[in-house]
Structure 1
Amino acid sequence: MHFSELALDRRLLATVAHLGFNQATEIQQQAIPAAMTGRDLLASSRTGSGKTLAYLLPAMQRLLKNKALSKRDPRVLVLAPTRELAKQVYGQLRLVVANTPYHSELILGGEDFNQQSKALAKDPHLVVATPGRLVDHLEHGHFYLHGLEMLILDEADRMLDLGFAKELNAIHKAADHRKRQTLMFSATLDHAQVNEFGAKLLQSPTRIRIDAEAQIHADIHHRFLFADHLDHKEALLKALLEKQDFSQLILFTATRSDTERLSSLVQQWGYSSLALSGELNQSGRNQIMQAFSAGKAQILITTDVASRGLDIARVSHVVNFDLPKHAEEYVHRVGRTGRAGAKGDAFSLVGPKDWVNYKKLEGFLDQTLAFEAIPGLEAEFKGFAIKANKPKPASKKGKPAAGKARAASKGKKVKKKFAFKLTEVGDAPMTIKRKPKAEPEE
Structure 2
Amino acid sequence: MHFSELMLDRRLLATVEHLGFTQATEIQQKAIPTAIAGKDLLASSRTGSGKTLAFLLPAMQRLMKHKALSKRDPRVLILAPTRELAKQVYGQLRLVVANTSYKSELILGGEDFNQQSKALARDPHFVVATPGRLADHLDHGHLHLHGLEMLILDEADRMLDLGFAEQLQAIHKAADHRKRQTLMFSATLDHAQVNEFGAELLQSPTRIRIDAEAKIHDDIHHRFLFSDHLEHKEAQLKALLEKQDFTQLILFTATRSDTDRLAQLVSEWGYSALALSGELSQSGRNQIMQEFAAGKAPILITTDVASRGLDIARVSHVINFDLPKHAEEYVHRVGRTGRAGAKGDAFSLVGPKDWASFKQLESFLDQPLAFEALPGMEAKFKGFTLRQRAAKIGASSKASQPQEKAHKRGPKKVKKKFAFKLTEVGDAPMRMKKKPKPDGEAE
After TM superposition, the score normalised by the length of structure 2 is 0.87
Query: Would you say the 8 A contact 1:42–1:208 is kept in 2?
Result: yes
Unpaired segments ≥5 residues, structure 1: 390-442
Query: Is 1:253 aligned with 2:253?
Result: yes
Aligned counterpart, 1:47: 47
Aligned counterpart, 2:176: 176
The superposition leaves residues 1-44 of structure 1 with CA deviations (integer Å, 9 ceiling, x where unpaired) of: 01111121122111111111100000000000000000100001
Show structure 1 runs of 4+ deviating over 3 A.
none
Query: Is 1:74 aligned with 2:105?
Result: no
The superposition leaves residues 83-115 of structure 1 with CA deviations (integer Å, 9 ceiling, x where unpaired) of: 000000000000000032101000000000000
Distance in 1, Cα, partners of 2:306 & 2:143 = 30
Distance in 1, Cα, partners of 2:15 & 2:261 = 44
Aligned counterpart, 2:208: 208
Query: Would you say the 8 A contact 1:156–1:184 is kept in 2?
Result: yes
Distance in 2, Cα, partners of 1:346 & 1:19 = 29
Distance in 1, Cα, partners of 2:300 & 2:14 = 35
Distance in 2, Cα, partners of 1:385 & 1:217 = 29
Query: Residue type matched to 1:317 in 2?
Result: H
SS of corresponding position for 2:239:
helix
Query: Residue type matched to 1:40 in 2?
Result: D
SS of corresponding position for 1:387:
helix
Distance in 1, Cα, partners of 2:7 & 2:201 = 27
Aligned counterpart, 1:62: 62
SS of corresponding position for 2:375:
coil
SS of corresponding position for 1:340:
helix
Aligned counterpart, 1:371: 371
Aligned counterpart, 1:425: none
Listed as ranges, the matches of 1:204-353 within 5 Å are 204-353=204-353
Moved more, 12-21 or 76-85: 12-21
Distance in 1, Cα, partners of 2:269 & 2:388 = 45
Distance in 2, Cα, partners of 1:384 & 1:240 = 25
Deviation of 1:388 (Å): 9.3
Aligned counterpart, 1:159: 159
Aligned counterpart, 1:392: none
Listed as ranges, the matches of 1:75-154 within 5 Å are 75-154=75-154
SS of corresponding position for 1:163:
coil
Distance in 1, Cα, partners of 2:100 & 2:184 = 25
Query: Residue type matched to 1:226 in 2?
Result: F
State the structure with more CA Rg: 2
Distance in 2, Cα, partners of 1:72 & 1:132 = 22
Distance in 2, Cα, partners of 1:87 & 1:94 = 10
Distance in 1, Cα, partners of 2:135 & 2:388 = 54
For the aligned residue pairs, the C-alpha RMSD in angstroms reads 1.3
SS of corresponding position for 2:341:
coil
Aligned counterpart, 1:384: 384
Distance in 1, Cα, partners of 2:196 & 2:99 = 39
Query: Residue type matched to 2:285 in 1?
Result: R
Distance in 1, Cα, partners of 2:375 & 2:183 = 50
Distance in 2, Cα, partners of 1:35 & 1:87 = 23
Unpaired segments ≥5 residues, structure 2: 390-443
Distance in 2, Cα, partners of 1:18 & 1:310 = 23
Moved more, 206-215 or 147-156: 206-215
SS of corresponding position for 2:319:
strand
Aligned counterpart, 1:394: none
After TM superposition, the score normalised by the length of structure 1 is 0.87
Distance in 2, Cα, partners of 1:152 & 1:133 = 16
Deviation of 1:258 (Å): 0.5
Distance in 1, Cα, partners of 2:217 & 2:82 = 23
SS of corresponding position for 2:215:
coil
Distance in 1, Cα, partners of 2:125 & 2:376 = 60
Distance in 2, Cα, partners of 1:211 & 1:172 = 29
The superposition leaves residues 320-356 of structure 1 with CA deviations (integer Å, 9 ceiling, x where unpaired) of: 0000000000000000000000000000000000001
SS of corresponding position for 2:111:
coil
Query: Would you say the 8 A contact 1:11–1:99 is kept in 2?
Result: no
Aligned counterpart, 2:13: 13
Deviation of 1:362 (Å): 0.5
The superposition leaves residues 153-172 of structure 1 with CA deviations (integer Å, 9 ceiling, x where unpaired) of: 00000001111100000000
The superposition leaves residues 290-312 of structure 1 with CA deviations (integer Å, 9 ceiling, x where unpaired) of: 00000000100000000000000
Moved more, 204-213 or 128-137: 204-213
* Identity value in percent: 86
The superposition leaves residues 390-427 of structure 1 with CA deviations (integer Å, 9 ceiling, x where unpaired) of: xxxxxxxxxxxxxxxxxxxxxxxxxxxxxxxxxxxxxx
What is the aligned residue count?
A: 391
Distance in 1, Cα, partners of 2:306 & 2:297 = 16
Distance in 1, Cα, partners of 2:98 & 2:65 = 17
SS of corresponding position for 2:386:
coil
Aligned counterpart, 1:23: 23
Query: Residue type matched to 1:212 in 2?
Result: A
